[in-house]
Amino acid sequence: MTLDIDTFSNVSGGFSFFKALGHPLAAPRIRAVLDRLAGPVAIYDPHGHAAAFAALYDIAQLDCAGIYVQDLGAVGKSVLGHEAQPVTALPGGIGTVLVLAFDAQRMIDTVRHLVPEGAQIVSLDAGRLDDDMLTNPKRYLDPINFATNFAFFRDAGGCHTRLVTINYWGGYGASNTTLWLCLLDTDGAAIAQWSQPAPAANGSIEIDSREVRARFKLGEFTGQLFIHVVNGAGHDVVKYALDTYGDDETVLSCTHDANAWPSDLYAGLPAPDDGERVVLWVQNSHPCPIPAGAVGLNPMGRDGEVAWLKHEIPPFGTYALDIAALLPALRWPAQIEIRAGKHFVRPRYEVTTKSGRTRISHPNVERRDLAPDAGIPGLSRHLGKGYLLPAPILPIGRYATSVLPTPMSTAQQSLPVAAIVYDRDGGEVARHAFGNLGRGHASLLDIDTLLAAPHTLPGGYGHVELVYDFADGGDADGWLHGLFRYRERATGHGADTSFGAHIFNAALTYRNEPQSYSGPAPGLSTRLF
C-alpha cells in the first residue's frame, strides 16, 4: 500500500509538507492537537493536503463533519470518503474547524465569519516547530526550513557507524548554522537528542556512534539518526558519507546519503551470492506504522512475483529484512525491485559473506515519471558519448571489479548498453557490448575476463564507463544506472557502489544536463565530497 503523499518532483524538487508533518519533534505536537479537538470536526482543506495528512495521522478518531475546500474546482470530489463542499457551506452544530494548513492566520481570517458561534478554529500551526528551529520563520514550508535527512546508525555487536559531512551551507553564505540530531532506536523511540554548532564554511562534521553512545550512556542500539540543519542556505538537502567499521577488520565499508524523499520504488538491490546473507534495513521515515503487507520485494522484471513482508514496523522503527526470507531461490547477479510505498527514504542493504565479512551499500530510486526518449540516440552528433556512467577500476593486481547494469525506471523494458575500459591516461583499451538487455537480465561483466589477452591495462588501473549502445536496438530514457562491485583478492573483502549516468562537462545542454546543484544547466564541473 503506497502512502498518498507527495514527496519529490524532478521538476520542482522536494515537497516540505510531509516533512513538516513527520518531523520527530512535530509529530507528538500534532497528535496532541488531534486528541483535544472537540467534535464534530469540520476539516477545512484549502491546499488539498487532506489525503497526505490522513496518510500519516489516524483521523478515524475524529467525528468528521465533512471536508470543506477553498477551490471551486475541488468541490464535489471525493476526499477521505466525503464529497468535498465549499467552505461557505460550513454547517452549524460543529465543535471545531480544523484548518489543514501552516501559516494559516490569513486563511482563517477570510473564513472566520463562516464559522458557527462557539466553534473553535484550530490549524496545523499548533504543531509547528519553535522558531529557533527554523531558518525562515516567516514561511514555515520554505524547503530550507526542512533541510533534513535520515541515516542508518548502529553501535552494537562490535559494529559502529560514523556520519561525515561538511558545512556546505556556509559556502552559500549561511551563518550560525546548527545541527539538531535525534537518535531513534529499533522501536522508533527517541533515545538521544542534541544540537551542535556547525564549523566554519566547508568545515568537516563528524558524528561517531561510539562517541554518541558514551556521551548519553546508552546500551547497544541499531536504528536511525535524524539530522535537521537549522540556518542553512543554498541547499535544502543534507548530503553525507556513512562509514561502517568494526572492532576488527571484518566490518569496513562506506556508503552515502539516503535521499530525503521516500520513494514508491527502489531498485538495484543485489540478490545474495552463494553463502552470503543480504539484509535490507527497512527504516520507517514517518510517524505512523508501516502496516504488514505494505512492503514487498520481487525479482527485477517479474512484477507478478512480489513477496510481501508480513510484519508491522512502528513509527520511525527499524526492521532487518533478510532477503532470503522473501526470495529464497534468488541468487546473484539477479537483482531485486523494492516495493517501498513511500514508507522510507533510500534504504541501506548489508552483505555478510560466508567468511563473516560485512559491507553496506544502498539501492537507488526507481523513477515512474519517465518514458523512452527518441532524441537520445542522436546526441552523439553533438555530445559524443552523451550520457555516461563512470566508475574506477582499482589496481587489478589487488582488486577484482565487476559491473552490473541496473534498470532504474519503470520505462526501462530494455537496456541498450556497452562498457568501455580506459587506462590511467585515458586511452581506450577494451570495449564490451552487453547488447539490448532485457529488464530482468542478470548480465554481469567481470573486468578480469574483459582484460584477458589480447587486452591489457597499462599502469594497472583506470576506469570503466557504461554508455548507451543502440547497435542492437532498444530505447533509452537518460536514467542509466549500474552496480559496481569490488573485491580485494587477498582477503575477499568487498565493496558495492551504485549510481547513475549524466552528461558531463559540456557547453551544450539536454534535458537539464549537465546538472548543477546551484543553478541551471550546464553544471560544467562536479564537486564531490
CA–CA dist 184, 154 (Å, integer):
10
Task: Give the CATH number for residue 104.
Answer: 3.40.50
Domain's final residue, options 128, 148, 172:
128
Please tell me whether residues 355 and 318 are part of one structural domain: yes
Read off the pLDDT of residues 180-212 as tens digits, 9 standing for 90 and up: 999 999 999 999 999 999 999 999 999 999 999
Residues near 182 by beta carbon (within 8 Å), at least 6 away in sequence: 24, 25, 190, 192, 193, 225, 226, 228
Instruction: Please tell me the predicted confidence (pLDDT) of residue 12.
Output: 53
In the structure grid, which three cell numbers stand for residue 243, read together? 562509514
Phi and psi at residue 106, to the nearest 5°: -65, -40
254 near 243, Cβ under 8 Å?
Answer: yes
Please tell me whether residues 284 and 397 are part of one structural domain: no
Q: Is residue 114 part of a domain?
A: yes
453 confidence band (pLDDT: 50, 70, 90): confident
Q: Is residue 83 part of a domain?
A: yes
DSSP of 8-50? EETTTEE-SHHHHHH-TTHHHHHHHHHHTPPSSEEEE-TTS-H
Q: Is residue 204 part of a domain?
A: yes
Please tell me whether residues 361 and 394 are part of one structural domain: no
Count how many domains the chain has. Answer: 3
Structural domain of 82: 26-128
Q: Is residue 524 part of a domain?
A: no
Please tell me whether residues 187 and 286 are part of one structural domain: yes
Read off the pLDDT of residues 280-310 as tens digits, 9 standing for 90 and up: 999 999 999 999 999 999 999 999 999 999 9
Please tell me whether residues 309 and 356 are part of one structural domain: yes
In the structure grid, which three cell numbers stand for residue 290, read together? 508501516
Residue 13: pLDDT above 70? no
User: Which of 358, 365, 394 is closest to 161 using CA atoms?
Assistant: 358
Please tell me whether residues 238 and 296 are part of one structural domain: yes
Please tell me whether residues 220 and 259 are part of one structural domain: yes
In the structure grid, which three cell numbers stand for residue 343, read together? 514508507
CA–CA dist 517, 527 (Å, integer):
10
Please tell me whether residues 288 and 193 are part of one structural domain: yes
11 confidence band (pLDDT: 50, 70, 90): low
User: CA dist 263 to 16, 213, 217, Å?
Assistant: 15, 31, 35
Domain's final residue, options 99, 128, 157:
128
Instruction: Please tell me the predicted confidence (pLDDT) of residue 521.
Output: 83
Residues near 136 by beta carbon (within 8 Å), at least 6 away in sequence: 142, 144, 145
Q: For the full predicted model, state whether its pTM sits above 0.85.
A: yes
